[in-house]
Amino acid sequence: MYSVYLKKGEEKRILNGHSWVYANEVAKIEGKDKNGSLTSVFTHDGRFIGKGYINHLSKILVRIFIRDENQVNDKAFYLERLKNADDFRKNLGYDNCYRMVFAEADDIPALIVDKYDEYLSVQFLSLGIDKMKKLIVECLVDLFAPKGIYERSDVAVRVKEGLTETKGVIYGEVPDRIIITENGLKMAVDVKNGQKTGYFLDQKENRYAARRYCKDGDVLDCFCNSGGFSLNCATVAKSVTAVDVSRTALDSVEENASLNNLTNVRTLQGDVFEVLRNYRKENKVFDLVILDPPAFCKSASEVKDAYRGYKDINVLGMKLVRSGGFLISASCSHYMTLPLFEKMLAESAKESGRRVRQIEIKTQAPDHPALVNAEETSYLKFFVLQVL
């Protein structure tokens, strides 16, 4: 087994609960083992900190997930961790569709497990956890007996780990569409080709919360994806216009609207920035405008450009809200921090010439818990603003 010794003072963040050991924080590595193997991490003076999988190819050298020096990463260990993660969600009332395992927040770094009805969608995002794939699948089958498990490890972060992107059925059989129930609505989820693991589960409570702001009103849902916000709003709104650049996404919206016999949803294909500008030229207004874009910044170097993009759509969005109506604005990038997002909204309000009140602030759903000492796990910002 490798033994990793940190530079003096570098242990503080990790002792406070963070799990990542960066290569530039390490003073020396002793011993010899295979890359991706379990490794012990110590302070500069030899005090044990924890164990995790090592990857010499990654800037994150070790991802710590064991804090007991005598504990090992055998099948009993994974059975316990996976069961504890699922029990937490079930105790919160989740049953049909939810994030079962959220990586570092559940002390299984780089592993994502999402439940969609009787199927599981999984991601193995580091070398170490990828090497444990067979064992983890066995544990998932033993614990939950799913009809099928689909792997969605087709994400760029694996390349940084020296891995290739991959996806496919790794247990049982998985249909092209899985019908889930969320907030009383039926949704067809494409786990094979949909966004992330098939659907954005982290906004489920926020989608339901949007209903209170659009009763009998006209709604514009931008970056609508498969229509989670659109359908929730359509249960109480007069009309919903769902906008996305992807025809595939809009086909999903129409499919999901049909599943729920909702006839007040129309789809519009186009670039959201252009659509908003065209509506502005037409003096079109809505009672609720929803801005839930994909991550505009996936690295710290992109924050400046992303800030301009967020500000652009929020200024336009505010101008399209009928006086007394609402704007919902969200960001799923942890690089766009809460203070920075609030600053952007304040500047947008000023530039739009509208008086704006903050009504509600929410974050990711409780099945996506965040570690208070690991800011990467807290990423979603969700603001409800009233535009006057």
Residue environment code for 309-330, b if the CB has 16+ CB neighbours within 10 A, otherwise e = bbbebbbbbbbbbeeebbbbbb
Beta strands, E only, 7-118: 20-22, 26-30, 38-42, 48-54, 60-66, 97-102, 111-116
Is residue 210 a contact partner of residue 288, using CB atoms and an 8 Å limit?
yes
User: Kindly report the CA angle at 377 between 63 and 57, in degrees rounded to 5?
Assistant: 30
**Residue 233 annotated to the active site:** no
Q: Which candidate in 97, 139, 297, 332 is catalytic? A: 332
Considering only CA atoms, give the Rg of the chain. 22
Burial class (CB in 10 A: 0-12, 13-18, 19+), 201: buried
Residue with tokens 């919360």: 209
The C-alpha atoms of residue 136 and residue 130 are separated, in whole angstroms, by 9
291 - beta bridge partners?
222, 329
Strands 148-153 and 381-387: unpaired
Catalytic residue annotation: 332
